[in-house]
Structure 1
């Protein structure tokens, strides 16, 4: 196939999955500098690409799929790179009749891993590498660089943090969409008590009460920003942190763009199932315990299905504390 001059890359959700598409867009643009690279996603995830210098144009999924298809047809693309592979993208490809390359989801093996814990069939490749396989036929090669995130505004630490936390601090991302992805408050408190550096708590309004409990238990060493700043500002604070602690959630994955030492904590979900272990960063710790019931979910659940929540409760605070306090 000759080099396409106008390429549409599609991924609708979620935050973590979309951030791992950024090497595809970067490699396409750098290796085909004369081509236009466009990206289609949902409105709520536009922030991931709205400042990306490798992107020619960002497109947003419209309420009516027919309107989205009409807009795509008007752009006259040469090629679609489908990194989502769901019913909507199938309809888009069928309606536009454009040449396409589609990400292989490996649904059967993931179902076997969840149902019977047969992890041996799960691909060991990172999600980034599996996304890049969709453009391999064009001769595109992985540049070996981290994911990309471009902060929208210029900030200063004093806008968000007290003087005590404007030096070297640890960013602790305590938020996650589902309960089984989050450590219980008492374990977060235990970890914080062992850390010698100032700590900044990050997360949305959904963990604001949790953060208040943690802050009250630890005192001035912890500074709580949960529910008080927006995502772009949270990413800025992550980018300035000395080290990062986080769960399987979008902000934790975004932190990899800044090559910060990362303690990545996993409960009911596993990096093996999702293929999203820390990517191209120099120092990381993956904390998780082996259990016959784990993983119990691909995306996380609102409660432990067996009621014991050992996947999080059995995680040692010491290994995380030691990783953070080292150097």
Structure 2
């Protein structure tokens, strides 16, 4: 069977689809093709369960005619929007998709009525391939790197070469990010060196935090490519992170994760999937009116959102500085 899996964006959402391609390849021996945006190729380029990776810059018309020639047997739609509807109509093959639960999310955001099923989005993705004969294999997420993705040791300060805490300071939307002073407080209270991770847009913020805290903090935000940052997450002792792409990459490496939540909530079903032992969620204290938005962009819902100010630094530090969880012999 020749199957096309479709997910255009973003980093975390694509990582969350990796169990689907694994079970398609491993359980039904499918020839697995994957369609995504070109900017997200690094997330999947080393995945051994994908036979061919297809990309678009923006519009589905860029590749529709080419994909018609591939004669797929089935499309697994893990994005489910107007573009994928047009693609499926053009390919004229059988398809399955997942349930987005947009009505339930709307009720939760606008009326604080939680009708969300207690099901992770990965399990909803896997439901889309059940009728093909593939099912949950009990594994977690996948993220594959090449040896070249590991940054050379001399790119790290000596203070961080024997172990560190990775702190992902960025986020796609403002309602998902801690204020700088909270990040600095957590870094000051850490019993280990801290490495700040994020994109170029987080570099200046990282510099301000590192300058305030001192040499125990290394600002790596904006200094490393995505897969280099993923390697730094892989090698961290523990990962503190907002609800963002590197959180899901950390889960793929089964790291102990301290995930921090603001405008969004874990009940949306996109919390770390099967992470390392001892992982915890930290949420604002006393914020009875969360979630404020579906994606974390609070502009349309609560311009004065201050939920991240209610994150208890002491709670984060208790989770961070506890002894490592011992694995069973």
Fold equivalence (TM over 0.5): yes
Q: 2:257 aligns with which of 245, 262, 269?
A: 262
Q: 1:143 aligns with which of 137, 143, 168?
A: 137
* Alpha-carbon shift at residue 123 of structure 1 (Å): 1.5
Q: Are 2:286 and 1:279 equivalent residues in the alignment?
A: no
* Alpha-carbon shift at residue 62 of structure 1 (Å): 5.1
Is the 1:9–1:83 Cα contact (8 Å) retained in structure 2?
yes
Q: Show structure 1 runs of 4+ deviating over 6 A.
A: none
Q: Per the alignment, do residues 87 and 303 of structure 1 end up closer, same or farther by CA in structure 2, a change over 3 Å counting?
A: closer
Q: Normalization by structure 2: what TM-score?
A: 0.93
Q: Normalization by structure 1: what TM-score?
A: 0.94
Q: 1:134 aligns with which of 128, 143, 148?
A: 128
Is the 1:180–1:304 Cα contact (8 Å) retained in structure 2?
no
| Distance in 1, Cα, partners of 2:125 & 2:208 | 40
Is the 1:12–1:84 Cα contact (8 Å) retained in structure 2?
yes
Is the 1:85–1:103 Cα contact (8 Å) retained in structure 2?
yes
Is the 2:106–2:294 Cα contact (8 Å) retained in structure 1?
no
Q: Per the alignment, do residues 115 and 156 of structure 1 end up closer, same or farther by CA in structure 2, a change over 3 Å counting?
A: closer
| Partner of residue 3, structure 2 | 7
* Alpha-carbon shift at residue 277 of structure 1 (Å): 1.3
Q: What per-residue deviation string (whole Å, max 9, x for no partner) do you get for residues 164-211 of structure 1?
A: 101121000101122111100111111111111011011112121211
**Partner SS for 1:75:** coil
Q: What per-residue deviation string (whole Å, max 9, x for no partner) do you get for residues 224-283 of structure 1?
A: 11111111111111000000000011112111111111000011111212x111211222
Equivalent positions of 1:17-56 (< 5 A) are: 17-33=13-29, 35-56=30-51
Q: 1:200 aligns with which of 195, 198, 202?
A: 195
| Distance in 2, Cα, partners of 1:103 & 1:95 | 20
**Partner SS for 2:23:** helix
| Distance in 2, Cα, partners of 1:76 & 1:304 | 43
Is the 1:21–1:131 Cα contact (8 Å) retained in structure 2?
yes
| Partner of residue 306, structure 2 | 310
| Distance in 1, Cα, partners of 2:188 & 2:244 | 23
| Distance in 1, Cα, partners of 2:300 & 2:259 | 20
Q: Per the alignment, do residues 118 and 77 of structure 1 end up closer, same or farther by CA in structure 2, a change over 3 Å counting?
A: same
| Partner of residue 296, structure 1 | 292
| Distance in 2, Cα, partners of 1:298 & 1:246 | 18
Q: Which moved more, 1:159-168 or 1:236-245?
A: 159-168
**Partner SS for 2:35:** strand
* Alpha-carbon shift at residue 44 of structure 1 (Å): 1.0
Q: Which moved more, 1:260-269 or 1:66-75?
A: 66-75
| Distance in 1, Cα, partners of 2:49 & 2:301 | 43
| Distance in 2, Cα, partners of 1:303 & 1:107 | 19
Q: 1:125 aligns with which of 106, 116, 119?
A: 119
Q: Per the alignment, do residues 66 and 263 of structure 1 end up closer, same or farther by CA in structure 2, a change over 3 Å counting?
A: same
Structure 1 regions of 5+ residues with no counterpart? Answer: none
Q: Number of aligned pairs? A: 320
| Distance in 1, Cα, partners of 2:64 & 2:270 | 31
Is the 1:157–1:166 Cα contact (8 Å) retained in structure 2?
no
